[in-house]
């Protein structure tokens, strides 16, 4: 359960790519042990927000703190901060030329300085944690997409992170493979891992998240307990988004075709 102390603090965060401002002043805290799911339409800034937390994207303005350390500070040791943050992307980013176990041991040895035996022990513990110990000697190409994503989660966990960031971890998977990945994430939540999860899995957000944040057009439109935001949203924009996601057939039909649409459609 969250203990109330902020593990992630975001203050006045802005990010622009050229003239296009993707984040327009985000203020958000994530408490230690809290699971926060970030939802919203494509292009709303969700992934950019996540990538700013560990400085994979450098903010245009604002501050980010992780565990009390200002990630955005001029003199920050960003490598030291990143060692405390695990990140899982849409794509699995596994090394194809080495085994599953080696995918977990190499980062430990190079970044944390663990010896081969210690790294192998931690690797196997985390492969067992995600239900894939029997695949330790396999190569990534022999695994399904869901299994590869679970290996990616195990690799992040092997680095002993204090925070886990997930950027649409199931979006590249076939529907039948999603459940095993979400089950691993539910286990992490039960274990008290601090997590920020960008997701389109509304049932997961409603069941697992302590808090849900809805973003649109670079802003936080609504945030609150998962049951309130997903089950009874206050903002019209949130309601419209959830209607389209949860019941596409009930979404309002598109308006009349414009002249520009007809011109674009014409041969």
| pLDDT reading at 41 higher than 70 | yes
Is the per-residue pLDDT at 105 higher than 70? yes
User: How does strand 61-66 pair with strand 69-70?
Assistant: antiparallel
**What pLDDT, on a 0 to 100 scale, did the predictor assign at position 164?**
97
pLDDT of residue 90: 87
Query: How many angstroms separate the CA atoms of 176 and 158, rounded?
Result: 26
Q: CB within 8 A of 156, min separation 6: which ones?
A: 86, 87, 88, 164
What is the percent of the chain with per-residue pLDDT over 90, rounded to a whole number?
Answer: 82
Q: CB count, 10 Å around CB of 191? A: 9
Distance CA 59, CA 51 (A): 9
Which has the minimum average pLDDT: 27-31, 204-208, 253-257, 263-267?
263-267
Q: Using one digit for the tens of pLDDT, what is the confidence trace for 194-231?
A: 999 999 999 999 999 999 999 999 999 999 999 999 99
Terminal Cα distance for the chain, rounded: 58
Mean pLDDT of 122-148: 96
Specify the pLDDT at position 121. Answer: 98
Domain ranges of the chain: 94-161
Please say if the pLDDT value at position 254 is more than 70. no
pTM: 0.89
Percent of the chain surpassing pLDDT 70? 91
Q: In the prediction, which pLDDT does 247 show? A: 74
Q: E strands along 168-233, which residues?
A: 194-198, 211-216, 219-224
pLDDT at residue 175, as a whole number? 86
Three-state DSSP at 175 gives helix
Taking the C-alpha atoms of residue 122 and residue 111, their distance in angstroms, rounded to an integer, is 14
If one counts every other C-beta atom within 10 angstroms of the C-beta of residue 93, the result is 13
Q: Is the pLDDT of residue 104 over 70?
A: yes
CA gap 163, 97 in Å, rounded: 28
In the numeric block, which tokens belong to residue 76?
């920050």
User: Which residue in the block uniquely carries the two structure tokens 């080495």?
Assistant: 98
**Number of residues that make up the chain:** 267
Q: Whose CA is closest to 100, among 133, 146, 130, 125?
A: 133
Q: Is the dihedral of CA 148, 144, 173, 224 positive or negative?
A: negative
């Amino acid at each position: 359960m969250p203990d109330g102390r902020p593990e992630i603090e975001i203050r006045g965060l802005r990010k622009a790519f050229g003239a296009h401002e993707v984040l327009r002043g985000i203020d958000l805290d994530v408490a230690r042990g809290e699971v926060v799911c970030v939802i919203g339409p494509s292009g709303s800034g969700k992934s950019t927000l996540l990538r700013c937390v560990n400085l994979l994207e450098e903010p245009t303005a604002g501050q980010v703190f992780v565990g009390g350390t200002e990630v955005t500070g001029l003199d920050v040791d960003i490598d030291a901060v990143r060692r405390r943050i695990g990140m899982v992307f849409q794509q699995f980013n596994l090394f194809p030329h080495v085994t599953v176990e080696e995918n977990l041991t190499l980062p430990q040895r190079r970044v944390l300085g663990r010896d081969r035996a210690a790294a192998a022990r931690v690797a196997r513990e985390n492969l067992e944690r995600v239900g894939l110990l029997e695949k330790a000697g396999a190569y990534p190409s022999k695994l399904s997409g869901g299994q590869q994503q679970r290996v990616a989660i195990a690799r992040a966990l092997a680095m002993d992170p204090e925070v886990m960031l997930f950027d649409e971890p199931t979006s590249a998977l076939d529907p039948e493979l999603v459940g095993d990945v979400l089950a691993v994430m539910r286990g992490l939540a039960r274990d008290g891992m601090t997590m920020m999860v960008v997701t389109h899995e509304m049932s997961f957000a409603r069941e697992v998240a302590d808090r849900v944040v809805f973003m649109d057009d670079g802003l936080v439109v609504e945030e609150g307990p998962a049951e309130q935001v997903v089950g009874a949203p206050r903002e019209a924009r949130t309601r419209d988004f959830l209607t389209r996601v949860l019941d596409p057939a009930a979404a309002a039909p598109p308006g009349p075709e414009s002249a520009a649409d007809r011109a674009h459609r014409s041969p």
